[in-house]
Amino acid sequence: MSTYEILLKGHREVAAGTLAFSFTKPPGFAFKPGQAITLLLADPPLEANSRQRIFSLVSAPFEAELAIATRMREGSAFKRALKNLQPGAKLQLRGPRGTMTLHEERSRSAVFIAGGIGITPFMSMLRQAAHDRLAQRLLLICSNRRREDTPFLAELRDLARQDGNFRMLSRMTDTDGFIDAETIRSFVGDAAAPIYYLAGPPAMVDAMKAVLRGAGVGDGDVQSEQFYGY
């Protein structure tokens, strides 16, 4: 796994309590949509295990910058240090890493189920798919407590309006309840031979695996990634 030097370009809020950070893209760095990187601080906090963190990339390979997004409410010394960095600050990047990338059998649909910040790998996939005008059916169910907690909601809705192959369902648990088998079955409908991708808090990912098994989806048609507050 290669290591690169990158520069922070800035950050912006993409939902309540969620920030997206952008960085320069080092020459020669290549990745697949859905992959992650390890970020290392040049001057880490004194707290233990605060020098590095793993983040999925929300930026797509075609973009000129790299970007991640993270919930800030969980709090960590690493996150506080990252937020306090000034544009131009140097960091190290190690990667890419991860295998949860979009399957290449374009006749099969992809169903993304995201809980909270678990949307990040899917943003990279969806941005690249829109850029490439990918002829593959993509469906997204994203779950958050409230509308204002949903990262990239406006962009996702724009993508759904512009791309006839992409549909989304935004589920707000405070008013709509949790995702269940009927929600998935109704939304997926007659999508062709779907492969399911799960990303979110461990409890959510485990619950969705159980729901899919109960619906007769084989484990080989499910890919998952768990997020521990990143």
Percent residues over pLDDT 70 in the chain: 97
Helix or strand (DSSP H, E) at 52: strand 52-56
* pLDDT score of 19: 97
Domain topology for 110-226: Rossmann fold (3.40.50)
Query: What does the CA dihedral 122, 125, 127, 132 come to, rounded to 10 degrees?
Result: -160
Q: Do domains 2-97 and 110-226 have the same CATH topology?
A: no
Q: Which residue is associated with the tokens 């979009």?
A: 102
- Say which CATH superfamily domain 2-97 falls into: Translation factors (2.40.30.10)
171 pLDDT exceeds 80?
Answer: yes
* pLDDT score of 126: 98
Tens of pLDDT, residues 62-119: 999 999 999 996 668 999 999 999 999 999 999 999 999 999 999 999 999 999 999 9
Q: Say what the pTM is.
A: 0.94
Q: Average the pLDDT over each of 49-53, 70-74, 202-206, 212-216 and give the range with the smallest value.
A: 70-74
Tens of pLDDT, residues 187-198: 999 999 999 999
Confidence of residue 50 (pLDDT cuts 50, 70, 90): confident
Q: Where do the domains of the chain lie? A: 2-97, 110-226
- Per residue, the 3-state secondary structure of 134-164, as one string, reads CCCCEEEEEEECCHHHCCCHHHHHHHHHHCC
Mean pLDDT along residues 206-212: 96
